[in-house]
Amino acid sequence: MRAVIAPEPGDAEALRIVDLPVPEPAEGEVLIGVRAVGLNRADILQRQGFYPPPPGISDVLGLECAGTIAAIGPGVSEFAVGDSVCALLAGGAYADFAVVPAGQVAPIPAGLSMIDAAAFMETTCTVWSNVVMVAGLTAGETFLVHGGTSGIGTTAIQVAKALGARVVTTVGSAEKAAAASALGADVVINYREEDFAPTLAKAGIAADVILDIMGAKYLASNVSTLAANGRLVIIGLQGGIQAELNLAALLAKRASVTATSLRARPLQEKAKIVAETIRHVTPMLEDGSVRPIVHATFDLADVAEAHRLLEASTHIGKVVLTLS
């Protein structure tokens, strides 16, 4: 089967399409014939050598896919060969076939194409687990997400609006600001033109929940923007890994800071996240309040070009690879 690896760290040209044996599903696993793959920034970090797969996980890139069940391992009863599914992986999605623990696989929600479904699992599970399961966002609260037109951002805006929250986001261009507003964001700040923290303070806006991809660079500003009992959840470190944390500011607001990741969690935790996400987000998909946003698709042979687009950060939503 075709599979994409990065034998040596580097730029997009470091990616190689190689021929590997088709994996066999073990106890509790299924084998998916992959039709489409969602790209994520974690894939770029892995290619660059900064985010290796967890122990025991394939070095084939890719954290989410959609396709059909090709084989079933022992102990799996909830799926049958031929089922159309989407899946959350710790690695291995950039390939014609991928093995996945059954708890991280779900039927494709009604109305989603294979391409939509491939762009669904990683971002939606990340948003639901952090914004709702960790931070407890509820109707009437104010939610701030940075990078509002990324795959995570476009999903977070829609989910938060569907929950009845007021949504604030930061973006990097006028085009992206318009896209974020169209998705439902109530307040959009172009970070290239103004600093979000003083802008929100001047407007009298404080955030009950912040979903942050920047890390160190935004830590102080995020804390200053939190409301009383606010919750800051850090899921990315694009702005660095070290910064001073003003504990007095947290104490004064009775606020919290949490940092999480999804890829290396135990299987039981991932299975719970997938089940909760599917259960709660499927109704949002059915009523049209949430939809995957796909910016562009590329054939697997053009994976380097797809990575270059993702790195350029000019896209709105997700970039997807297709396999035929």
- The two structure tokens encoding residue 241: 């890994």
Q: How confident is the model at residue 53 (pLDDT cuts 50, 70, 90)?
A: very high
Secondary structure of the chain in HEC code, one letter for each residue: CEEEECCCCCCHHHCEEEECCCCCCCCCEEEEEEEEEECCHHHHHHHHCCCCCCCCCCCCCCCEEEEEEEEECCCCCCCCCCCEEEEECCCCCCECEEEEEHHHEEECCCCCCHHHHHCCHHHHHHHHHHHHHHCCCCCCCEEEEECCCCHHHHHHHHHHHHCCCEEEEEECCHHHHHHHHHCCCCEEEECCCCCHHHHHHHCCCCEEEEEECCHHHHHHHHHHHEEEEEEEEECCCCCCCCCCCCHHHHHHHCCEEEECCCCCCCHHHHHHHHHHHHHHHHHHHHCCCCCCCEEEEEEHHHHHHHHHHHHHCCCCCEEEEECC
Q: How confident is the model at residue 19 (pLDDT cuts 50, 70, 90)?
A: very high
Residues 215-241 have a mean pLDDT of 96
pLDDT at 32: 98
Mean per-residue pLDDT over the chain, rounded? 97
Q: Which of 286, 296, 274 is nearest to 63 (CA)?
A: 274
Give every CB contact of residue 207 below 8 A, 6+ residues apart in sequence.
142, 143, 144, 168, 200, 225, 226, 227, 230
pLDDT at 156: 98
Instruction: List, for residues 101-128, the tens digit of each pLDDT value.
Output: 999 999 999 999 999 999 999 999 999 9
Residues 67-73 have a mean pLDDT of 98
Residues 276-301 have a mean pLDDT of 96
Q: How confident is the model at residue 306 (pLDDT cuts 50, 70, 90)?
A: very high
What pTM was estimated for this model as a whole? 0.96
- Counted residue by residue, the chain has a size of 324
Instruction: List, for residues 138-150, the tens digit of each pLDDT value.
Output: 999 999 999 999 9
Q: How confident is the model at residue 324 (pLDDT cuts 50, 70, 90)?
A: confident
Domains of the chain: 2-120+292-322 (3.90.180.10), 124-259 (3.40.50.720)
| CA–CA separation, 161 and 314 (whole Å) | 24
Q: pLDDT over 90 for what percent of the chain? A: 99
Q: pLDDT over 70 for what percent of the chain? A: 100
